[in-house]
Amino acid sequence: MTLPHFTDAESFRAFRSAPAQWLGIALDIARSHGLDIGAPHVFATGTNLVVGLGETLILKIFPPLLAAQFVSERGALAQLAGRLDLPIPEIVAEGMRDGWPYLIITRLAGTLGSEVWPQLPEDLKERVLRQIGETIAAVQRTPLGPLASIEPRWDDFLRRQMQGCRARHTRLGLAPKFLAGLDDLLRDAEELIPMDAPPVILIGEYIPENFLLACDDGQWSLKGLFDFGDVLAGWRDYDLLGPSAFMAAGRPGRVKSLLEGFGYAKPDFALKRRLMALMLLHRASDLNSHICIEGWQEKAGNLVELQELIWSG
């Protein structure tokens, strides 16, 4: 049993979506570490090959074309270990199979955020967003350590994103009225987004699919954080984008809770402008799919109105 070599992401996704082709290899890896393989659970979503081993462990296998995600995940988990109040996975074992690196990590307790978030009442949504802001700040207070050398470097990453920004959003179908303001926004971005400020750990995806919640006496709280495959070292505001787009929904109370938890007061025009630029430059940016404000494309006439809509309050 060997893992194949892929030269493109589409071929790998097809392989990942057919667990019968690779589950036996995953279980063989687990067996080689003396682990129980009696009740494996294949996670259908995600980027890599992921298998739950019972209730306590998870095996993540990274294809060589996504080896950078392995480097990010391993480096982030090692650097953040013991430094956060919020639980994150612990590395139990690591290795290589047919050129594919893998990690065996602990499985966290809690309910997936995406399953709970839509049903939460407004006050608990504000509570969770405040906790997310606090968590982002705590992660960013952690020394970079070896993550200081992770690629790409922030200035290189940002310049590359700026160069491809218009082509990306044109391809993704962003409305012409928003594309019209893109050049002005990118010019502002060069002044508003620090290129050489002291970098911090950026997770990149503080979204409901990547954290766990738990309920205690009717109060839902943040219970765990996982998936560190997109870690960067760069400017701190970048990590406000996920919760801003997917969770805050332009509601003043939610925006206020997120930003205050992070350590910001009421957002001024410069902060909103910077966040709008970063949202368009994010490595996963797709406004049409990611902004969760109903009817936002009709409510905003340009990018300035859109930033006011997203970060209202």
Are 14 and 137 part of one and the same domain?
A: no
Do 209 and 269 lie in one domain? The reply is yes
Closest by CA to 196, choosing from 253, 143, 151, 235, is 235
Note whether 99 and 147 are same-domain residues.
no
Examine residue 1 and state whether it is found in any structural domain, yes or no.
no
What are the helix (H) ranges across the chain? 9-16, 23-32, 67-80, 113-116, 122-141, 154-171, 176-179, 182-192, 241-243, 252-262, 269-281, 287-290, 296-299, 303-310
Residue 28 sits in the same domain as residue 172: no
Sign of CA dihedral 126, 128, 129, 131: positive
Q: Can you give the pLDDT at residue 46?
A: 83
Average pLDDT score over residue span 43-67: 94
Per-residue pLDDT tens digits for 191-238: 999 998 899 999 999 999 999 999 998 899 999 999 999 999 999 999
What's residue 1's pLDDT? 82
Residues 131 and 236 in one domain: yes
Residue 3 lies in a domain: no
Domain range for 233: 111-310
Query: Exposed, middle or buried, 159 (CB in 10 Å: 0-12/13-18/19+)?
Result: middle
- Residue 313: per-residue pLDDT: 67
Which of residues 45, 80, 106 is at a domain's end?
106
Q: Are the C-beta atoms of residues 244 and 279 closer than 8 Å to each other?
A: yes
Examine the domain organization and report whether 52 and 124 are in the same domain: no
Q: Are residues 35 and 130 in the same domain?
A: no
pLDDT digits (tens, 9 = 90+) for 251-271: 999 999 999 999 999 899 999
Euclidean distance between CA atoms 262 and 77, whole angstroms: 21
- Could you tell me the CA-to-CA distances from 106 to 41, 55, 214, 279 in Å, in that order? 14, 9, 17, 32
Does 269 share its domain with 192?
Answer: yes
Do 123 and 196 belong together in one domain?
yes
Whether 25 and 150 share a structural domain:
no
Whether pLDDT at 111 is above 80: yes
Mean pLDDT of the chain: 96
If one counts the domains in the chain, the total is: 2
pLDDT of 63 strictly over 90:
yes
pTM of the model: 0.94
Find the CATH number of the domain harbouring 291.
3.90.1200.10
50 lies in a domain? Answer: yes
Which whole number is the average pLDDT over 38-43?
A: 93
User: Domain check: are 166 and 100 in the same one?
Assistant: no
β-bridge mates for residue 189, sequence order: none
Provide the residue type at 117 as one letter: W
Is 4 inside a domain boundary? no
Confidence (pLDDT) at 122: 97
Of 61, 85, 106, the residue that ends a domain is: 106
Q: Which of 106, 124, 152 is the last residue of a domain?
A: 106
What is the DSSP annotation of 106-155? EPPPSEEHHHHGGGS-HHHHHHHHHHHHHHHHHHHHS--GGGGGPSSPHH
Of the candidates 239, 191, 291, 16, which has an alpha carbon nearest to the alpha carbon of residue 26? 16
Decide: 245 and 310 in contact? Cβ < 8 Å. Answer: yes
Do 152 and 49 belong together in one domain? no
CATH number of the domain to which 33 belongs: 3.30.200.20
